[in-house]
Structure 1
Amino acid sequence: MNKKVLKLAIPNIISNLSVPLLGAVDTALVGHLEEVYYLGAIALGGMIFNFIFWGFGFLRMGTTGITAQAFGEQNKTESVMTLVRALLVAGVFSFMILLLQTWIADISFWLVEATPEVERFTKVYFDIRIFTAPATLGLYAINGWFLGMQNARYPMIVTVVLNTLNIILDVIFVYSLNMNVAGVAWGTLIARYVGLALAIGLLMVKYKSWLKAYVREKILEVEPLKKFFSVNRDIFIRTLCLIFTFSFFTAKSAEFGNVILAANTILLQLWMIVSYGVDGFAFAAESLIGRYKGSGEKDKLKSAVTHCFFWGIGIGFTASLVYALFDESILSIFTNQQNVITTALIFWGWTIAGPAVSSFCYIWDGIFIGATATEPMRNSMIIATVLIFLPVYALGVSYFGNHAIWLALTLFMVARGATLTVYAPKYILR
């Protein structure tokens, strides 16, 4: 089982780590410009697009779980039809995002309080990056299908090529062409469409025989559609809670001023780097749990759960140790502004705790997605957001200031892991 887990997890880790690496490079590029508000604009712009795009993360997660189960059943037609349905949904929502972009921008800037400089450059970023919607949602669907087909190599290739190109373009646009925030947005736009073209090419070459199993009449079959939308509805609600939490975090950070916003942005980036590493094993869990549920191999399913937890939690605790040992050295990579570094060190303890605490819930997420047991995932996230995160911040902010938002985020992760552990015997292990 270790071999199977690592065969899926290692490509996922490589591809996942290229995502925060891109974010880290963007943060470092803009963080070394002369004005702090450029970094704030990237943080708020990223928050807005996280809210827009992460909400459609079900196109990746739901597609993986359903496809993996069809793969376990050796049902070629249902596997291909899952991809078709996901791509159709991606196309419809992409069109709606582009159609409503002005309204989305107005609501976003109304909800977020920021300095005039930050808001002005965030708008520049928004107006360019909004046109990545079709490529972003399309990639969610195709990469999710690849993972469900037990193929972690193709998403790795697509993601690494996309993010490497993005980094190169960002460096050229920001430093060579002095485009600051606009350069980061243009780099993202171009790289996304190159990545989509590559994914389609790999799909057509590798799975040409599978695509022949496509049956047009099955697109609107009631039972598969009911399962597709039921699974994705729960994941959508779960993801909205997650997006809300991180967006709330960034919005409240902005209220503390540009320096704390910049410091919190860097620290949260460090949380995300580890999350993407642990998610390599969470994605492996999605593929394997779905496959073994589809084939009815319960012993292998339980073994996959154990092995994914072993590796995922190991990464989390290792990262916490690294952060404890190399605090200021790590921060200096992201910015050369001493006031931001000094401020970040005040809150560094939360960065040390984060990877170890959050690794549990990340692995459980992958397990529940693979089993398409999405209702408990939804309930867990609602509990963590409404009953833990918001009350902890509201009660603590007047006493602890910025520490309160970090305490709320840490307990939010603890609550997610704890509630899914309670749900697991009923929905997974039995």
Structure 2
Amino acid sequence: MKTTDRQILHIALPSIVSNITVPLLGLIDVTIVGHLGAASYIGAIAVGGMLFNMIYWLFGFLRMGTGGLTAQAYGRHDLQESTRILLRSLSISLLLALALLILQFPICSLAFTFIDTSEEVQKLATLYFHICIWGAPATLGLYGFNGWYIGMQNSRFPMFIAIIQNIVNIAASLFFVFSLGMKVEGVALGTLVAQYAGLGMACLLWLVYYRPLRKYLHQKGLFDRTEMKRFFQVNRDIFFRTLCLIAVTVFFTSTGAAYGDVVLAVNALLMQLFTLFSYFMDGFAYAGEALTGKYIGARNHKALTQTVKHLFKWGISLSLLFTLLYGLGGKGFLGLLTDDASVIAASEEYIYWVLAIPLAGFSAFLLDGVCIGSTATRLMLIAMLVASASFFLLYYGLHHTLGNHALWMAFIVYLALRGIVQGIILYRKQLTGLHPLS
């Protein structure tokens, strides 16, 4: 195996494992309350989990922006600046977490004006929310740490942290619920303990394995105006890109609900196939992010070009593999997720859209990683704006005649356009003699 491929897999494989463990935190919580004897407990955890997913999704720029900037500093062998980037990210994470804690009551009240639930579910979900919100400093801090570790070409530490979080979450939640007799509040406390266990693990790993960087902890220039401006510009673009992504995702779900419960269920199950594919492609996107930033920082354009070529070889190969797997076993996979005959029968009308996802979407994931590593975040935002606008225009232009098929067609086009627009802009910059990622 070539050196470039080994470097890509060295970062991608642990990242894929980390991605797969992410939904386990929510799954564990649902499984535990599912044995408490009331559906309202499951509903409360589902609603509470959704709220936090939406909130924390908005702050994903803390991981992505930190990763790209750190990778470039790593490529320049500027350990002092890489340490500054971590400290800036953690400082901003703490301030944002503090804002969430201060605003937790209006945020919760506003959320339930849009979420239609029973009074009991709302009461329990509110309790869950007001306990778990105290994990905001840990969660946002981990975004900074994970981005920094990936930028330092180390995706193993985020994997270790994710595994520790899941182990602690299982143990703590079981203890609080079944040993102390708590219910929803026990699950919330278990999640809270797991979040801080993850942050503690991240700090411990840094202190032990990055000991030489301690000398940079007390340094001037931490909040240098130029560097802070760059940090916020990068993260601003990612933030608005994420808002577009959330708008498309929420619209897809809510619009599918308008076609009835069966179609809503079909869409939700088929999106699990997209999510599974995304876990793998995100792993290679993280590799692209880390290696792109490193080679840009080192001004090694030959290695950068070689890395991007190899990333696309992996992307195309995985896309063909997933297309084959979904074509042969997609229906069987849905059968594992549900035994509802009406949902399985209805899925046959739409499952072929899933076959288009891998080849339509792989370049969007990979080029997102390349753009993050190069801090070309404005390019990402432009591509997302074009793709999102096309999504809504295409759906509203066709939904009267195609119904739910229009929703899936718009989603596939949206995925494809994200990669196409980014690729066109990068190619044009090459033609003009400018290195696209410098």
Q: Which residue of 2 aligns with 1:16?
A: 19
Give aligned pairs, total.
Answer: 429
Does 1:402 find its partner at 2:410? no
1:259/1:343 contact within 8 Å kept:
yes
Select 2:67's aligned residue among 58, 64, 84.
Answer: 64
Select 1:282's aligned residue among 261, 282, 285.
Answer: 285
Distance 1:190 1:329 in 2: 37
Distance 2:351 2:173 in 1: 28
Does 1:271 find its partner at 2:274? yes
Instruction: Describe the superposition over 1:253-298 as per-residue Cα deviations: whole angstroms up to 9, x where unpaired.
Output: 3444554444433322321121111111110111111011001100
Q: Which residue of 2 aligns with 1:388?
A: 390
Instruction: Describe the superposition over 1:335-367 as per-residue Cα deviations: whole angstroms up to 9, x where unpaired.
Output: 344444444444322333223321110000000
Select 2:89's aligned residue among 86, 89, 94.
Answer: 86
Query: Shift of the alpha carbon at 1:153?
Result: 1.1
Change (3 A) 1:183 1:364: farther
Instruction: Describe the superposition over 1:74-97 as per-residue Cα deviations: whole angstroms up to 9, x where unpaired.
Output: 111111010000001100111111
What secondary structure, in the 3-state scheme, does the structure 2 residue paired with 1:404 have? helix
2:26/2:49 contact within 8 Å kept:
no
Distance 1:277 1:415 in 2: 20
1:50/1:243 contact within 8 Å kept:
no
Q: Which residue of 1 aligns with 2:432?
A: none
What secondary structure, in the 3-state scheme, does the structure 2 residue paired with 1:296 have? coil
Distance 2:183 2:268 in 1: 18
Does 1:6 find its partner at 2:9? yes
Q: Which amino acid in the other structure matches residue 408 of structure 2?
A: W
- Give the alignment of 1:15-414 within 5 angstroms: 15-20=18-23, 45-112=48-115, 123=126, 125-166=128-169, 185=188, 187-385=190-388, 387-414=389-416
Larger radius of gyration: 2
Instruction: Describe the superposition over 1:138-192 as per-residue Cα deviations: whole angstroms up to 9, x where unpaired.
Output: 1100011111111111111112222354467678889999999777655533322
What secondary structure, in the 3-state scheme, does the structure 2 residue paired with 1:281 have? helix
Compute the TM-score of the two structures, normalised by the length of structure 2. 0.86
Q: Which moved more, 1:240-249 or 1:183-192?
A: 183-192
Compute the TM-score of the two structures, normalised by the length of structure 1. 0.88
What secondary structure, in the 3-state scheme, does the structure 2 residue paired with 1:220 have? coil
What secondary structure, in the 3-state scheme, does the structure 2 residue paired with 1:218 have? coil
Distance 1:92 1:176 in 2: 36
Measured on the aligned residues, the alpha-carbon RMSD in Å equals 3.2
Q: Which residue of 1 aligns with 2:420?
A: 418
For structure 1, the 5+ residue unaligned runs are none
Q: Which moved more, 1:141-150 or 1:170-179?
A: 170-179
1:40/1:258 contact within 8 Å kept:
no
Percent of pairs with identical residues: 41
Change (3 A) 1:270 1:41: farther
Query: Shift of the alpha carbon at 1:46?
Result: 4.4
For structure 2, the 5+ residue unaligned runs are 430-434
Q: Which amino acid in the other structure matches residue 272 of structure 2?
A: Q
1:16/1:280 contact within 8 Å kept:
yes
Q: Which residue of 1 aligns with 2:436?
A: 428
